[in-house]
Structure 1
Amino acid sequence: MSSKISRLCEAIIEAGWLAALIIVPVFFNVYSSRVFEPDKISLLRSIALVMIGAWLIKLIDGGGAAAPLPASATQTPRGNLWRQIRETPLIIPALLLVSAYLISTALSVAPRISFWGSYQRMQGTYSTFSYIVIFFLTLTHLRSRVQLNRLLHAIVIASLPVALYGILQHYSLDPLPWGGDVKLRVAGNMGNAIFIAAYLIIAFFVTLERFLRSAGRLLAEQGGEIADALLVGSYVFVLVVQSVAIIFSQSRGPWLGWFAGIYIFVLLGLIALRSRATRRGAGFFHWAWLGWIGLAVAGVAFLISFNLPNSPLAALRSVPYVGRLGQIFETEEGTGKVRVLIWEGASQMILPHAAITYPDGTPDPLNALRPIFGYGPEAMWVAYNPFYPPDLAHYEARNASPDRSHNETFDALIITGAWGFIAYVVLFGSIFYWTLRWLGWVRNRQDAILFLALTLLGGLGGALIPWLALGDLRYLGVAIPAGLILGFIVYLTISAFRSDFTLADDRQPGAPAARHPLGHRRALCRNPLRHRHRRHAHLLLDVDRRPARHRPGLARPFGRGTGRGDVCGGRHAVVLQHAFSVCGAHAHGRDPA
């Protein structure tokens, strides 16, 4: 029985992750020098410290490191600590990422900056560990359906003012005089058009899940309540506002992620309808999924032809909004040219090279280790100058040195080296794998091997094809994640063609339930559209770092995973980490203000 102090500390911890979800995305300070990024980071760091303080007080009070499971959950022996760590999905990949940051910080060319973060961004190891601390505290203290609903509602609520502010900017109703153009491409509370779109596509799918759940209750045979009707209307309004703001951002990368997320979301729903239609003899829904795949293939073909030189669709590139989709492969002008030039230098940094020189003339003594462990967080701008392409000075200020490569893969390789990149890929690969396993899309060893083979072949092909075609590694950072995601989507599509394939919650009555990897039955929701993790995979497609950064547990199940019948067993924990990392998103672009 926990004491009042322990329960108070648990309440403070929950208030911390809710505050991070609601306040951090909305907050910015026009009276500071940078307005957005350092202010959001400082706020998030402070929230993490308060949560740690509450956890320590709870620990001293004897409340335990984790919140107790609900009384309805049948608990099983937890075993030793190593067994819990080994058997809890995503914990080991998260710890690998922690080790990569610790090593790269210790070996950094600028250790103090790597730990605390630069003055402009504050995205050092301290900030990364703040994200991870909130992840672990959420992992160990989110235990009930009520808590889960509060978390999801917080994401939806926080996204509304962000989206509305972006729409106000588009119609020139913003009272603040920003230095950049926030009408053509809105920036909202994030300070960058890419960041607001990346944040909103995450909130969009959470809102869509809430809408479907409320609509399901409203359309149930026993009839819904007035509150359900009001919720459905509210969610529709929020979805429309989010969609309009995403479109007004005119950010190509988030748009692609949005489209990919919608494809997978709808595919899951149609697969569920296929299973039920087979039992009820409804022919249309039995084949609707196939038409959806065909429509997706046609959409991909359109995008490719739209971006080819001398395309017959070239006239559409002058059409507002639609024309942005015809500039995906733009590399000879604008921001595309700048990024390619930065990637040219970044590709040289990650390969063996002559030692860089410190200001006092001393060569870097750890040069041989740089490809393995990197230069350290926030240290790219310190080490980049020897690799600066001269042509870049024609597109950016001559005295400016890039502090980010505008690419997640290159950033991981530069700041944490090959070790950190491997940890990063293992982390995201684990998220996708466990998501599919909990959904029933990976049912046996053969499925796991096929999933692993397709994703690895996709990533390997993405790395080799540009290198063989162009002879350099400039596009390595885009090609690898694109290949990994392509392999992931191909696996999902292949799974949909299986005649015996059903989602986890659509088995015939009496069929054995899928078991959680820790041994307890999953308490999955009735509507398979609730499962949102895979929609967030699209964040890797964009060449800029998204708010998918620094979240070691999108798909972690709530609870310790030791009880049978856990109220949130098998659920996707730490979806909130997406919103926490709105700060992290700012680390990889330039504010328009």
Structure 2
Amino acid sequence: MYSRWFTWILTGFLVLFPLMVWPYFNITYSTLLKYLYLLGLVFVFWVVIGVKSLFRTIDVPVFRSRAEQLALLFLLLAGVATYFSVEPVPSIVGQEYKFLGLFAWVSFISVFVFVYHFIPAENHLRLIQLIVVASIPVALYGIFQHFWINLLLEEPIESTFIKSWAFFDNSNHFGTYAMLMLMLLFVVYMLSQKRVSSVMWIVVGVVIFVALLYSGSRSGWLGLFAGALLITGHLVFRMKYLLKRWVVMMAVLFVTMLVVNFSEGNFILDRFISIGEEAQQIVEPDEEQEPPARWSFWTTSVGLMGENFWTGTGPSTFNTVYYDAIGVEDGLHDNSHNEFVEIGLTLGVPALVVYLMFIGLVLWRGVQYVRTAEGSEKILVVLLLAAVVAYLVKVMFNVSVIPVAPFFFVVLGVVWRRSVFGKE
């Protein structure tokens, strides 16, 4: 039994969360504020749930479903990793700038639990619509940054291509957000009933897509491609009446990419080509060229996992253990640029296995549900599953961050609720 107050407050928070910034400050204006807002919401919700449960005014059966139990086990293992951490305090609150400590993981899992219990199926589509609408000013601000960045900074940036970061401190983080918002836009676009609505969502899609391109995030582009490919193969080709609508959206986005690439002197194309070049450097090493930095992070981190197999090194300790391992006193990179390598190294391999089981269970139950669902229900869940896959592809080259990860766990919560309760 859910409380409508929980539903309204949680919905309002998720819609406003991307905008909870003070942008005219410096490049690191977003994560700390959003971290505090997120912690505040999570703390208040758990206190209210605890008090109401104590006085039996609300019945919230938290952590009774299998996915919740796996998520709870993951948090317990993260807590053990924090206890044995090489840097206990940063492991709790997180290192400066990203703050990806134990508190962050508790917050992410809490969002999943809250969405599962407090956002009923009848509100799912409206929630997604509102989240996408809230991304419009964020995307527009990112585009503004690209063209007029020096109006926003005291010290001008000299660059041939400005990678926009909007309200996210980092262009990669912005790319993750824009990619995920575009995947959610596909949900509302494919389910829109009126032509006017479809045209409106196409326009919004163009705005978000341009912002994604200006982020310069190659992994964001790869994630979007993977998600779109999944939608094409597992939805559009099986529900032929969606083909025309999907082709229109893809054609518009493709033309948009061509225009942006031309206007930027083939920068977008060059970035795409560089993906293949870096992959070739890994497959066929050249002694005259250094391998991509991410490859060094991954190989070294995987090697360190064996030394810290059970409990990891502690959340948010990558920069400490990595630079110690390579004999460098200090370095700029604070994560391994791979979600799964990061979890395995810092939280331990058992935590990584449980996390993969958690994600895998949500995906598996979602796929099982899709097999029996029909019509708009099938479309909705397939598109959400595609969003999950797109995000997972993205974080193979980055990590979950506080300004973006809550939206991923929202999608997981929606998929899990519908796979358990259906349309209710």
1:415 aligns with 2:343: no
The Cα offsets for residues 329-358 of structure 1, whole Å up to 9 and x where unpaired, read as: 425899973333333432332123xxxxxx
Counterpart-to-counterpart distance in 2, 1:193 and 1:61:
47
1:558 corresponding residue in structure 2: 417
The Cα offsets for residues 545-572 of structure 1, whole Å up to 9 and x where unpaired, read as: 144588393454437947xxx6x34xxx
The answer to whether the 8 Å contact 1:164/1:245 transfers is yes
2:251 corresponding residue in structure 1: none
1:342 aligns with 2:342: no
1:544 aligns with 2:398: yes
Letter in 1 for 2:316: E
Letter in 2 for 1:49: F
The answer to whether the 8 Å contact 1:342/1:388 transfers is no
| Alpha-carbon distance, 1:176 to partner | 1.4
Counterpart-to-counterpart distance in 2, 1:144 and 1:187:
33
1:261 corresponding residue in structure 2: 227
Counterpart-to-counterpart distance in 1, 2:73 and 2:187:
32
Label 1:127 to 1:399 Cα distance change in 2 as closer, same or farther (>3 A): closer
Return the match for 1:120 from 71, 89, 97. 97
| Alpha-carbon distance, 1:389 to partner | 5.5
Label 1:135 to 1:269 Cα distance change in 2 as closer, same or farther (>3 A): closer
1:17 aligns with 2:10: yes
1:64 corresponding residue in structure 2: 58
| Alpha-carbon distance, 1:167 to partner | 0.9
| Alpha-carbon distance, 1:89 to partner | 4.7
Q: Secondary structure at the match of 1:171?
A: helix
| Alpha-carbon distance, 1:156 to partner | 0.8
Give the TM-score, by structure 1 length: 0.59
The answer to whether the 8 Å contact 1:105/1:111 transfers is yes
1:188 aligns with 2:166: yes
Counterpart-to-counterpart distance in 2, 1:527 and 1:420:
33
The answer to whether the 8 Å contact 2:365/2:419 transfers is no
2:45 corresponding residue in structure 1: 51
Higher helix share: 2
**How do 1:234-313 residues align onto structure 2 when only pairs under 5 Å count?**
234-274=200-240
Ranges in structure 2 where 5+ consecutive residues have no aligned partner? 248-264
Q: Secondary structure at the match of 1:375?
A: coil
The answer to whether the 8 Å contact 2:113/2:413 transfers is no
1:351 aligns with 2:327: no
Give the TM-score, by structure 2 length: 0.80
Letter in 1 for 2:305: I
**How do 1:162-561 residues align onto structure 2 when only pairs under 5 Å count?**
162-172=138-148, 175-177=151-153, 184-214=162-192, 216=193, 218=194, 229=196, 231-274=197-240, 319-328=266-275, 329-330=277-278, 337-352=292-307, 370-388=308-326, 399-400=330-331, 402-440=333-371, 504-505=373-374, 525=377, 527=379, 531-542=383-394, 543-546=397-400, 547=404, 551=409, 553-554=412-413, 556-558=415-417, 561=420
Letter in 1 for 2:200: S
Letter in 1 for 2:390: H
Counterpart-to-counterpart distance in 2, 1:61 and 1:560:
31
The answer to whether the 8 Å contact 2:318/2:334 transfers is yes
The answer to whether the 8 Å contact 1:434/1:555 transfers is no
| Alpha-carbon distance, 1:438 to partner | 1.0
Ranges in structure 1 where 5+ consecutive residues have no aligned partner? 67-80, 220-228, 278-284, 293-317, 353-369, 391-397, 441-502, 507-523, 570-593
Identity, in percent, stands at: 19
**How do 1:19-38 residues align onto structure 2 when only pairs under 5 Å count?**
19-29=12-22, 30-31=24-25, 34-38=28-32
Structure of larger gyration radius: 1
Counterpart-to-counterpart distance in 2, 1:31 and 1:320:
29
Q: Secondary structure at the match of 2:292?
A: helix
The Cα offsets for residues 204-261 of structure 1, whole Å up to 9 and x where unpaired, read as: 12222212222x3x26xxxxxxxxx3x3343222111011111112211110110111
Label 1:319 to 1:560 Cα distance change in 2 as closer, same or farther (>3 A): closer
The Cα offsets for residues 511-551 of structure 1, whole Å up to 9 and x where unpaired, read as: xxxxxxxxxxxxx6264676322332132334111445883
2:250 corresponding residue in structure 1: none
The answer to whether the 8 Å contact 1:204/1:239 transfers is yes
Letter in 1 for 2:303: Q
Counterpart-to-counterpart distance in 2, 1:136 and 1:557:
10
Counterpart-to-counterpart distance in 2, 1:540 and 1:112:
29
The answer to whether the 8 Å contact 2:74/2:355 transfers is yes
Label 1:184 to 1:108 Cα distance change in 2 as closer, same or farther (>3 A): same
The Cα offsets for residues 154-196 of structure 1, whole Å up to 9 and x where unpaired, read as: 2112211111011111221663107666852111111222111
